[in-house]
Structure 1
Amino acid sequence: MTIEVNNESGTEVDEAEFAALARHVLDAMHVHPRTEVSIMMVTSDVMTDLHVRWMDEPGPTDVLSFPMDELRPGREGDMAGPGLLGDVVLCPDVAAAQARTAGHSMVEEMLLLTTHGILHLLGYDHAEPEEEKEMFALQRNLLLTFLASR
């Protein structure tokens, strides 16, 4: 698996932890080991530009996902083929504000957002209540199993 983590935000983070999380999520979702994914941390200004350009929404957001090959999760013993999964873009400034509201650390929030973003790359969504229930339960399970393994 090729997992590239680029931090252009100016906020110090342990890039290896985000790569390990992505590997955990992709393994758990039975994604081919030769799949590529990129995780990028950016400033509020850069995230605002991306949010306006791609979502037509004002201001910065916490996470954006840009799927490439439209890969989907595999099943145990039936792994999806390799490809370019896409990019997850995080904004530590927005994550820090959300973390304060939620009562946990910025890193925990960013790990949650990374998991969320990867699930979007794999085709999950939360536009409808049933989709939200499925995606958020999976997101929680993946993050908790990752944190328990650390």
Structure 2
Amino acid sequence: MELDLYDETNRITTEQKELVNSLLEFAGNHLKLPDDTEMSVSFVEDDAIQKINKTYRGKDQSTDVISFAIEDEVEDELTINFDDLEEPMPRNIGDIIISVDKTASQAIEYGHSFDRELGFLALHGFLHLNGYDHMDPEDEKEMFGLQKEILEAYGLKR
């Protein structure tokens, strides 16, 4: 998997970037994604994610993670079937944006390490990019069950 990491905060260590990269690679293999799958993860401050949340979701508040799935269907938008292309091309599934401030505060609130919370949020966003959601109880059970399964198999415990 091709994963681009952008740290706009200068607060994420090389080891933490490697953790996110390794965990999402593991999750991609778990979901059996093609090797040429592409995506990005950006680490931002609270004020940056609040602006994004307000602009794209209409919520004027910060949040922990936002995912922008490229393959989400939007009304009146042309649908591209990547399987029908003559020349295979990498599949970009989207972008994840994580608030480093929320990561730190939630790690304290939930009583685990910053690294564990960072991995959890990255995986949560990754599952959204792959079509999982938690809008109703049945979907929530499926997504959170898969999240737990991947985190445990990877070895990132509370």
* TM-score normalised by structure 1 residue count: 0.87
Which 4+ stretches in 1 moved above 6 angstroms? none
The amino acid of 1:9's aligned partner reads T
The amino acid of 1:34's aligned partner reads D
* Matched position secondary structure for 1:86: strand
Identity of aligned residues (%): 32
Partner residue in 2 for 1:5 = 5
* Matched position secondary structure for 2:155: helix
8 Å Cα contact 1:69/1:83 also seen in 2: no
8 Å Cα contact 1:22/1:114 also seen in 2: yes
Q: Are 1:135 and 2:137 counterparts?
A: no
- Per-residue CA deviation, residues 118-146 of structure 1 (Å, 9 max, x unaligned), is 00000000000111111001001111111
> What is the alpha-carbon distance in structure 1 between the residues aligned to residue 122 and residue 60 of structure 2?
22
> What is the alpha-carbon distance in structure 2 between the residues aligned to residue 110 and residue 54 of structure 1?
23
Partner residue in 1 for 2:47 = 45
Q: Are 1:118 and 2:126 counterparts?
A: yes
The amino acid of 1:53's aligned partner reads T
Structure 2 unmatched ranges of 5 or more: 73-88
Note the C-alpha offset of 1:99.
1.2
Structure 1 unmatched ranges of 5 or more: 71-80
Partner residue in 2 for 1:57 = 59
> What is the alpha-carbon distance in structure 1 between the residues aligned to residue 112 and residue 35 of structure 2?
32
Partner residue in 2 for 1:74 = none
8 Å Cα contact 1:52/1:59 also seen in 2: yes
Q: Which among 84, 87, 99 is matched to residue 92 of structure 2?
A: 84
Matches within 5 A, 1:4-23: 4-13=4-13, 14-23=16-25
The amino acid of 2:11's aligned partner reads T
> What is the alpha-carbon distance in structure 2 between the residues aligned to residue 30 and residue 82 of structure 1?
15
Partner residue in 2 for 1:75 = none
The amino acid of 2:115's aligned partner reads V
Note the C-alpha offset of 1:82.
4.4
Q: Are 1:31 and 2:33 counterparts?
A: yes
Note the C-alpha offset of 1:58.
1.8
User: In angstroms, what is the RMSD of aligned CA positions?
Assistant: 1.4
Partner residue in 2 for 1:144 = 152
- Per-residue CA deviation, residues 3-31 of structure 1 (Å, 9 max, x unaligned), is 11111123233211111111011110011
